A and B are shown apart, each in its own frame.
Chain A
């Protein structure tokens, strides 16, 4: 196995899965840069541990991203606690919420991503992660369950709740706009 094959494999794999992994990571991390760091770390670790099978077992890759994102969050919260202890509260500027969109419409879709992004952000995290994995990660309920370490039936019911809640949130937004 030459190094060229190795290189081609990971590039093809990342071109296919990279945007989905980034979307998945951004659920927890408001900063795009942080989400990219997490995807980088998880993908590299996964690939070195036999990632050639990544395309056949995408659930594991998403699980690796989730673990890295949660680790990053824990690290960040420790850092903030340290900073708060060291400094007066108002010295450092508050981290601004990331306004960059999570999703873009396919060609021919005229809606703006703002409403959908906002509705997604309002979903409970356990519903949102299932929704993202199912719709944009293109995993089955079985794979979603395996990636999140939950039973398949739980994954399926969270998915249904997520769709229902999302519909309500989007409907409410339309009403607010007077549509």
Chain B
């Protein structure tokens, strides 16, 4: 029995499973790396390991800014501000309104589910297909080159009437 099975086992090992299509790897990448992936918590995104550390820094930062502003705005007696600094302060041009323009709109479908035949309220048979896709809109400020991109998931359900005899 062993010799027999060894023989067939050797024969089987000369075969290998059919390769996975690139599309499947892309779909998994979209799930694991795309907008639907499990997101890090807000404090992890800010680079903190513990939420209290983030809260602490969050409270400390405005306090420091307020203190620094008070210190700059109210110089003590005898403190002279250099004319060049004063000039620079006053010569900052007023901020212009942004000129963001949409440059790209894409729709990437990553899953199609045929959900079979369903009945409407009127008992009419319809074939229902659910499409899941990701829409992306990109804007660019022509003046400064600033780019903004927003992606969000979308789900479409399409029903096509089925002809009955």
Nearest-CB distance from B47 to chain A (Å)?
11
> Given the complex of chains A and B, what is the CA–CA distance between A15 and B117 in angstroms?
36
Interface class of chain B by DSSP: mixed
Q: Would you call A160 and B1 a contact (CB within 8 A)?
A: yes
Q: Would you call B9 and A163 a contact (CB within 8 A)?
A: yes
Tally chain A residues at the interface, Cβ within 8 Å. 47
Given A48-B38, A79-B115, A88-B164, answer yes or no on A135-B18 (Cβ-Cβ < 8 Å): no
Q: Would you call A116 and B31 a contact (CB within 8 A)?
A: no
Q: Would you call B116 and A91 a contact (CB within 8 A)?
A: no
Nearest-CB distance from B143 to chain A (Å)?
32
Residues of A within 8 A of B31 (CB): 40, 44
Q: Would you call A79 and B24 a contact (CB within 8 A)?
A: no
> Given the complex of chains A and B, what is the CA–CA distance between A126 and B135 in angstroms?
44
- In the assembled complex, B86 has its CB within 8 A of some CB on chain A: no
- In the assembled complex, B15 has its CB within 8 A of some CB on chain A: yes
Nearest-CB distance from A43 to chain B (Å)?
6
Q: Mark A27-39, 1 if CB is under 8 A from B, else 0.
A: 0000000001001
Q: Would you call A18 and B117 a contact (CB within 8 A)?
A: no
Residues of B within 8 A of A104 (CB): 15-18
Stretch at the interface among A57-65, A105-113, A140-148: A105-113
Residues of A within 8 A of B38 (CB): 48
Q: Mark A1-34, 1 if CB is under 8 A from B, else 0.
A: 0010011001100110011101100000000000
Interface class of chain A by DSSP: helix
Q: Mark A97-137, 1 if CB is under 8 A from B, else 0.
A: 00011111110010001001000000000000001000110
Q: Which size bracket describes the interface of B in this complex? A: 35 or more
- In the assembled complex, B20 has its CB within 8 A of some CB on chain A: yes
| Chain A residue nearest in CB terms to B25 | A14
Nearest-CB distance from B106 to chain A (Å)?
21
> Given the complex of chains A and B, what is the CA–CA distance between A174 and B18 in angstroms?
24
- In the assembled complex, A56 has its CB within 8 A of some CB on chain B: no
Q: Would you call B24 and A18 a contact (CB within 8 A)?
A: yes
Q: Would you call A135 and B24 a contact (CB within 8 A)?
A: no
| Chain B residue nearest in CB terms to A165 | B8
Given A19-B18, A86-B117, answer yes or no on A91-B162 (Cβ-Cβ < 8 Å): yes
Residues of B within 8 A of A106 (CB): 14-16
Residues of B within 8 A of A92 (CB): 117
Partner of A135, one of B12, B117, B119: B12
Nearest-CB distance from A93 to chain B (Å)?
12
- Name B1-36 residues within 8 Å CB distance of A: 1, 4-5, 7-9, 12-21, 23-25, 27-29, 31-33
**20 examples of A-B residue contacts, CB within 8 angstroms:** A18-B25, A19-B19, A20-B17, A22-B18, A22-B24, A23-B18, A79-B116, A82-B116, A82-B117, A82-B118, A83-B116, A87-B117, A88-B164, A91-B163, A100-B18, A102-B17, A105-B15, A164-B5, A166-B12, A167-B7
